[in-house]
Amino acid sequence: METVKIGIIICNRYRNCAGGKCFRAALNKEGAFSIYGDKKIEIAAYTTCGGCPGGNIEYAPEEMKKNGVEVIHLATGLLVGYPPCPNIEHFKKFIPEKYGIPVITGTHPIPEKYFLTHNNLNTWNTETKQENLRYTITDENIRKSYN
């Protein structure tokens, strides 16, 4: 079975996060990890962006690449924190350009409580934001299980 080595970058606001939802989603292939189908997933790196404007984005992917990371996931917290990360589009361009590593937005499914709040606030009302959410919206039962 083919193994995909993944690096996860989380928002620095959540720097104390133990990664439980991300690791659970990787194990269950839920949220953005559903794209890997029958492949085995190995989380090979986990760090923060370094805080706004994302200083660690310049350096962390290099270390991740040295450790075999093939894909970097920008954690769901960057999408659902309030406000959502204002730099995510820069990260999505910079990492592949500088390090040649593809970037996927999202990790675990969006918890229902965040889904409802952001829908009420109309946070995700652009095509770009909708594209960033495509792997993490899932269905209501799965979202509720991540509350």
Domains defined along the chain, listed by start: 3-145 (3.40.50)
Give the C-alpha distances (Å, rounded to integers) separating 60 from 12, 70, 87, 119.
13, 13, 16, 32
Q: How far apart are CA 120 and CA 29, in angstroms?
A: 28
How far apart CA 98 and CA 121 sit, in angstroms, is: 35
Q: Is 85 strand, coil or helix?
A: coil
* Chunked mean pLDDT (size 10), the chain, 147 residues: 96 93 97 96 97 96 97 96 94 98 98 95 92 94 96
Say what the pLDDT of residue 39 is. 96
pLDDT at residue 1 in the model: 83
User: What pLDDT, on the 0 to 100 scale, is given for residue 109?
Assistant: 97
Rounded CA gap, 92 and 94, in Å? 6
Distance CA 85, CA 53 (A): 9
